[in-house]
Structure 1
Amino acid sequence: MQPKLLAVAAGVAVATVYFAQPLLVTIGADLGIAAGTVGLFVTVTQAGYGLGLFFLVPLGDLLDRRRLIQLQFLLLAAALLATGLAQNAAMLLLGLATVGTLAVVTQSLVAYGAALADPARRGRTVGTVTTGIVLGILLARTTSGILTDLLGWRAVYLAACATCLAIALLFTRRSAPAPLGAGPVPTYGQLLRSTVRLWREPVFRETAVRAFFVFASFSTLWTSIALPLTERRLSHTEIGAFGLIGAAGALAAGPAGRLADRGQGRIVVIGASMLLATSWLVTAHSLAGLAIGAVLLDLAVQAIHVTNQSLIYRPDAGSRLIGGYMVFYSLGSAVGAIAPTALYERAGWTAVCVLGAAFGAGSLLSSVRGARRTSRASRPCGSSR
Structure 2
Amino acid sequence: MAPIRVPTDSDISQHSSDDEPKTSFVIRERCTEPENKPVWKRFITSQKWIPRWCRQDPAREFGLTTTLMVLCSWSSAVTAANLFYTYPVLNKAAESFNVSYQTASQIPQLLQAGYGVGILLLCPLGDVFRLRPVILTLLSITTITWFGLCLTPSFHAFTALSFIAGFANVSPQLLFPLISSIAPPHRRATAISIVLAGMMMGLAVPRVVAGIVTQYTHWRNIYWAALGTQVLTLSAMFLLFPDFPRPQPETKNFLQKYTHVARDIARMTVTKPILAHGCTVTFLINAAHASFWTTLTAHLAGSPRDFGPLQIGLFSLIAVGTTMLIPVYSYLVIERFATYFASTIGLVYAAVSIAVDAYTGNALSIGGPIVQALGIDLGIQIPSVAYRTAVYRELPANRANVIFTACAFLGQLAGTSIGNAVYAAGGWAKVGTFHIALTGATLVVVLARGPKEEGWLGWRGGAGLRLDGGLSVEKGEEGAAVAEAKV
TM-score, normalisation: structure 2: 0.70
CA distance in 2: counterparts of 1:260 and 1:67, whole angstroms: 33
The answer to whether the 8 Å contact 2:73/2:197 transfers is yes
Task: Report 1:17-96 matches (<5 A).
Answer: 17-23=83-89, 31-34=99-102, 38=105, 42-84=108-150, 91=157, 93-96=159-162
| Structure 1: distance between partners of 2:435 and 2:138 | 33
Match of 1:358 in 2: 437
Cα deviations across residues 99-119 of structure 1 (Å, max 9, x unaligned)? 332222111122222233233
Give the Cα–Cα distance (whole angstroms) in 1 for the partners of residues 451 and 229 of structure 2. 46
User: Given residue 33 of structure 1, which amino acid in structure 2 is its aligned partner?
Assistant: Y
Instruction: Indicate yes or no: 2:244 matched with 1:178.
Output: yes
Unaligned runs of at least 5 residues, structure 2: 1-66, 464-487
Bigger CA drift: 86-95 or 294-303?
86-95
The whole-number CA distance in structure 1 between the counterparts of 2:459 and 2:399 is: 28
How many angstroms does 1:243 deviate by?
A: 1.5
**Structure 1 position 322, deviation (Å):** 1.2
Give 2:353's match in structure 1, choosing from 279, 283, 306. 279
Cα RMSD (Å): 2.9
Distance 1:20 1:242 in 2: 17
What's the CA shift string for 1:308-362, capped at 9, x where partnerless? 2101115972211112111000000111223333443444333333333322222
Task: Give, in angstroms, the shift of residue 160 of structure 1.
Answer: 1.3
Match of 2:273? 202
Aligned length: 378
Note the residue ranges of structure 1 that are not aligned, 5 or more in a row: 381-385
How far has the Cα of 1:87 moved from its partner?
5.5
Work out whether 1:318 is the aligned partner of 2:388: no
- Specify whether residues 271 and 179 from structure 1 end up closer, same or farther in structure 2 by C-alpha distance, changes over 3 A only: farther
Tell me if structure 2 keeps the 8 A contact 1:266–1:367: yes
Report the alpha carbon displacement of residue 23 of structure 1 after superposing the two structures with TM: 4.5
Q: Residue 340 of structure 1: SS of its match in structure 2? A: helix
Residue aligning to 1:221: 292
Q: Determine the structure 2 residue equivalent to 1:307.
A: 386
Q: Secondary structure at the match of 2:244?
A: coil
Supply the distance in 2 between the matched residues of 1:155 and 1:131 (Cα, whole angstroms): 26
Q: Look up the equivalent residue of 1:196 and give its one-letter code.
A: A
Out of 300, 305, 311, the position equivalent to 1:238 is 311
What is the rounded CA distance, in whole Å, between the counterparts of 2:79 and 2:194 in structure 1? 15
Tell me if the contact between 1:214 and 1:332 (Cα under 8 Å) persists in the aligned partners. yes
Of 155-164 and 369-378, more deviation after overlay is shown by 369-378
Is the Cα contact below 8 Å between 2:284 and 2:411 reproduced in 1?
A: yes
Do 1:181 and 1:315's aligned partners in 2 also have CA atoms closer than 8 Å? Answer: no
Q: Evaluate the alpha carbon distance shift between residue 27 and residue 242 of structure 1 in structure 2; reply closer, same or farther with a 3 A threshold.
A: farther
**Structure number with higher relative contact order (C-alpha < 8 Å, ≥ 6 residues apart):** 1
Answer yes or no: is the 8 Å Cα contact 1:21–1:226 preserved in 2.
no
Displacement of 1:211 in angstroms is 0.4
Q: Secondary structure in 2 aligned to 1:341? A: helix
Once the two structures are TM-superposed, the CA of residue 164 in structure 1 deviates from its matched residue by 1.2
**Percent identity between the aligned chains?**
21
Task: Check if 1:298 corresponds to 2:369.
Answer: no
Do the aligned partners of residues 296 and 191 (structure 1) sit closer, same or farther apart at CA in structure 2, a change above 3 Å counting? same
> More deviation in 71-80 or 275-284?
275-284
The answer on whether the counterparts of 2:130 and 2:247 sit within 8 Å (CA) in structure 1 is no
Aligned-pair CA distance for 1:34: 4.1
Give the whole-Å Cα distance in 2 for the aligned partners of 1:294 and 1:161.
Answer: 30
Is it true that 1:135 corresponds to 2:201 in the alignment?
A: yes
Tell me if the contact between 1:3 and 1:113 (Cα under 8 Å) persists in the aligned partners. yes
C-alpha contact 2:281 2:384 (8 A) present in aligned 1: no
Normalising by structure 1, what TM-score? 0.87
Aligned partners of 2:412 and 2:310: how far apart in 1? 24
Match of 1:12 among 73, 78, 83: 78
How far apart, CA to CA, are the structure 2 residues paired with 1:88 and 1:307? 45
Which deviates more, 205-214 or 179-188? 179-188
1:338 to 409, 417, 439: 417
Q: Does the CA contact (< 8 Å) of 1:182 and 1:316 recur in 2?
A: no
Secondary structure, aligned partner of 2:83: helix
For the pair 1:378 / 2:461, whether they are aligned, the reply is yes
Aligned: 1:257 with 2:325: no
Of 336, 342, 348, 1:268 maps to 342
By how many angstroms is 1:16 displaced? 1.5
1:171-218 deviation per Cα after TM superposition (whole angstroms, max 9, x unaligned) = 111121234557776701111111111212000000101100000000
The 1:184/1:324 distance shift into structure 2, 3 A limit, reads: farther
Q: Distance in 1 between matches of 2:423 and 2:155?
A: 23
Q: d(CA) in 2 for partners of 1:99 and 1:333?
A: 19
1:42·1:334 contact (CA, 8 Å) conserved in 2? no
Of Structure 1 and Structure 2, the greater helix share is in 1
Q: Deviation per CA, 1:251-288: give whole Å up to 9, x if none.
A: 34213432333343221112212233333223434322
Amino acid at match of 1:245: I
Work out the CA distance in 2 between the residues paired with 1:377 and 1:76. 48
Q: Distance in 1 between matches of 2:243 and 2:394?
A: 15
